[in-house]
Structures are given as C-alpha cells and as structure tokens.
C-alpha cells in the first residue's frame, strides 16, 4: 500500500512538471525588436565606438528596420527611426514613455534631477512644467527678454566687424553627445563612475556651474532689493533670474522653489535656449555658404526689408514677416536638428510597439536626424531646399512626426520659442551686415 502511494505521488509530480513544461513551451515568447549582433558584457556598444551615434544608428536602422533594439552594457536601448515608430513612442504610448532614465549627469549637474529636462515624470515634474509654461516660457515672457537678445546679437556683429573684411571667423559652439559607460551598467554606475573619472568630472562641472549661478542669483537679488527700496518696480523683472526670484518669493506652486531648483531651471534655459540655437545657427550658416543661390535670395530679401537701418531689432523682424527666413530655418533644422537623438525616455511598463514587445525599464530614443533625412518622407532628402516647406503643412509644433527638431508629446522641448527667437535675430544680423 505504501509503495502504491509512493508511485502515485511520484507520477503526480512528474505529470505536473510535464504540464508546466508543455505550458511554458506553448506560451508565446516575447518578440523583441531586431537589432545588430552583440558581444558578451558590452552588448552592442562596439557599433557606436568612434562614430557619431545618430549617423551610426541611422545606418543600422537601414539594415534592421525602423524599430530596433540594441543592448548597451546591461541597458536595453530601443531606437525609433521612422515617422510611424516615432508617433507610436511620442503619441500612442506617450504616457508609458514619458519618464526619463536617471542618468548620472542629471543627478550631479542637474541638482538631483530637479530640472525639466531630466526630472522623472511625476507630480513634481508636472507642476514644474506648468510653472515654466505659464511664467517663464510664455510668448509674452519670451518677448519681454528681446532687449537681451538684441544686445547679444549686436555684440556678436561688432566682433565680426572688428575682425576685418576678409578674416575667417569662427562661429562654432562646442557641443558633445554620446553614451557614458557608467549609465549603461545601472548596478555598477557608482563604481564605474569613480573608476572612469566621470563622477569627479561631473562634480567639477557642477561646482563650477553652481558657483557661477549662485553669484548670479545673489547679484540679481541685491539689484532687485535696491529697485524695490527705491520704488523703481516697473522693470524689476528684467531677466529670467529676476522672474524666478519673484516666483520663489511668491510661492504656492505645490513644491518648494528653492535655490537649487532655480539653478536647475536656469541651467536648462541656458543649455536649451542658447546652446541649441547657436548650433542650429552654425549649421544654417554652413548650409547657406554651401548653397549660394539660397543665400543670395535670403540676403537680398533681408537687405531690401531693412535697407538703411543701422541695427535690426526683433520689432523690425516681426513687422517685416520674412517668410523665406522661416523656411531656411526649418530646412536647417530638418537636416541638422539641435538634438539629433531626442533626449532618452524610459518605458514604465512592458508594452507592444509595432508588433514587438518593449520590456519595462528599456531606454528609448527617437532618431530625429534619421527621420529628417529619410527619402520616404522627403524628396532629395540630403539636399538643402527651403522651398520644400512653402506649402506650410509640416511644422515643428510636435504634430508632424517626420519633422521633430524639438520632439513631441509631453516631453517636447518647452523652450523652443526662446531658441527660435535667438536664431532668427542672429541670422538676420549675420546676413544683413556681412557677405560670407
């Protein structure tokens, strides 16, 4: 009897085990997006060594498809390289991809992810974004700072004029892009950051930036207090820092707008509103010099519109409505988006995208550079032809997924109006006063 029970129990265990194996075999496996071949430990990182990542990823997408997955170290990286896949990430599944990976640079330089760019999605980010949209990035506020942009462009024009008629002028702004090794091995980020020296470098940057920003805040607070004491309150909110100090004193935003968060916002505005516009202007000037007919047409319209003026202001620009200037800027942004790879997002949960499974905690980027040069959407995609935008159906407001210089969805760059205002004025200044 005991032997019979023993055999029955053994058969039951074997039957259950067999059923589990059959169930597992019949269960549909996750179909991950295709991607290039991988090596142990480093995964696909060797495909991105000593190359421009956006160009390398564009070439890989032509082989593996518009939605592909690489493994960089221990980090799965999903790359969207078509209008359709970009729409799926930025619109259809925007909620699932609306957060940011916690990159080391955002922690150290970005005041523990306190800025708009790197802050993970959540209550703080939503309130911060609402505050910036209403008080800092509104069209009225952008317009109020126009005298600062005019002063800066005038200084640049004076520098170029002082260089002489035939002297080469360097308009370059140094920017960097890439993938940092410590961020690609999350369990080992702290150790790798110390071994590679990345942590020390980031702290050096942070300390330098922090001291400069603190000095600016202290200086503006002193000037603001003097104006209030003297009763000169008409121009008390003269610049961005003044506005943030006033908001700090006002309060009532659902979070503490302390000095660290003010610094994080200023850093965002400086990086997003000046670095990107300077890069875009440099590329626009390069393309104009490579296409003299386009330059001649634009320069002729600018000089005709402002003939006889010693200085061109933003008010002059608005009154003139230089439509071709806007077409040239759009075409420059198509070929040379300020952020060729949109700032990385991270999937909150696993989801289905274009028939593939995207695991939770995957890093997701949209290759705006590849989409802007895809012959599927653009005739003569590699050519500089501003006239292609004449019909006006494609714009950079986030609704045209074949044209994403500023992104789209919840994480779309909120300050692109700042950059565009600076770029327009700077280009007009360079072309009105000088022949290149």
Helices (H), 97-197: 104-108, 123-135, 139-144, 146-163, 189-196
Q: How far apart are CA 221 and CA 380, in angstroms?
A: 53
Q: Which pair of structure tokens corresponds to residue 308?
A: 């006889």
Query: In residues, how long is the chain?
Result: 436
357 forms beta bridges with 352
Using DSSP's 3-state secondary structure scheme, residue 345 falls into strand
Q: How far is CA 124 from CA 11, 76, 94, 118, 119, in A?
A: 58, 27, 18, 12, 8
Question: Coil, strand or helix: which one is 126?
Answer: helix
Alpha carbon 189 to its chain's center:
23
Query: Which distant-in-sequence residues (6+ apart) come within 8 Å of 18 by Cβ?
Result: none
For residues 136 and 240, the answer to whether their CB atoms sit within 8 Å is yes
Does the annotation list 180 as a binding residue?
Answer: no
Whole-angstrom distance, CA of residue 220 vs CA of residue 344: 34
Residue with tokens 């150290």: 108
Tokens of 430: 């360079």
Sign of the CA dihedral running 139, 145, 149, 150:
positive
Cβ-proximal residues to 206 (8 Å cutoff; 6+ apart), any chain: 108, 109
Helical axes 198-230 vs 240-250, angle rounded to 10°: 80
| Residue 355 burial (C-beta neighbours within 10 Å; 0-12, 13-18, 19+) | exposed
Annotated binding site for heme: 413
């Amino acid at each position: 009897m005991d032997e019979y029970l023993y055999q029955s129990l053994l058969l039951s265990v074997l039957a259950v085990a067999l059923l589990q194996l059959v169930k597992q075999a019949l269960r549909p496996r996750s179909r991950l997006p295709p991607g290039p071949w991988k090596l142990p430990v480093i995964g696909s990182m060797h495909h991105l060594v000593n190359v421009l990542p956006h160009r390398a990823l564009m070439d890989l997408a032509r082989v593996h498809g518009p939605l592909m997955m690489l493994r960089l170290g221990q980090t799965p990286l999903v790359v969207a390289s078509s209008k359709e896949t970009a729409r799926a990430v930025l619109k259809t599944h925007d909620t699932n991809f609306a957060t940011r990976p916690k990159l080391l640079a955002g922690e150290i330089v970005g005041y523990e992810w306190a800025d708009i760019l790197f802050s993970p999605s959540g209550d703080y980010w939503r309130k911060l974004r609402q505050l910036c949209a209403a008080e800092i990035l509104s069209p009225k506020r952008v317009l109020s700072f126009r005298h600062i942009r005019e002063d800066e462009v005038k200084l640049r024009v004076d520098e170029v004029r002082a260089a002489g008629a035939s002297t080469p002028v360097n308009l370059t702004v140094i920017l960097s892009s890439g993938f940092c090794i410590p961020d690609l091995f999350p369990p080992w980020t702290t150790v790798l950051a110390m071994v590679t020296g990345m942590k020390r470098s980031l702290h050096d940057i942070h300390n330098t930036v922090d001291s400069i920003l603190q000095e600016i805040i202290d200086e503006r607070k002193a000037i603001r207090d003097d104006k209030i004491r003297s009763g000169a309150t008409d121009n008390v909110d003269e610049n961005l820092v003044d506005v943030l100090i006033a908001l700090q004193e006002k309060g009532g935003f659902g979070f503490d707008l302390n000095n660290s968060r003010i610094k994080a916002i200023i850093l965002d505005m400086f990086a997003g509103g000046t670095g990107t516009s300077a890069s875009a202007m440099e590329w626009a000037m390069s393309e104009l010099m490579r296409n003299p007919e386009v330059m001649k047409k634009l320069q002729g319209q600018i000089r005709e519109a402002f003939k006889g003026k010693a200085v061109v202001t933003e008010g002059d620009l608005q009154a003139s409505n230089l439509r071709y200037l806007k077409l040239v800027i759009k075409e420059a942004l198509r070929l040379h988006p300020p952020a060729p790879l949109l700032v990385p997002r991270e999937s909150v949960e696993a989801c289905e995208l274009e028939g593939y499974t995207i695991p939770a905690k995957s890093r997701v980027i949209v290759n705006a550079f590849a989409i802007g040069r895809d012959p599927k959407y653009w005739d003569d995609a590699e050519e500089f032809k501003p006239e292609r935008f004449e019909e006006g159906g494609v714009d950079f407001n986030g609704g045209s997924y074949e044209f994403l210089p500023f992104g789209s969805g919840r994480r779309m760059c909120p300050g692109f109006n700042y950059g565009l205002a600076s770029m327009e004025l700077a280009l007009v200044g360079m072309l009105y006063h000088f022949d290149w």
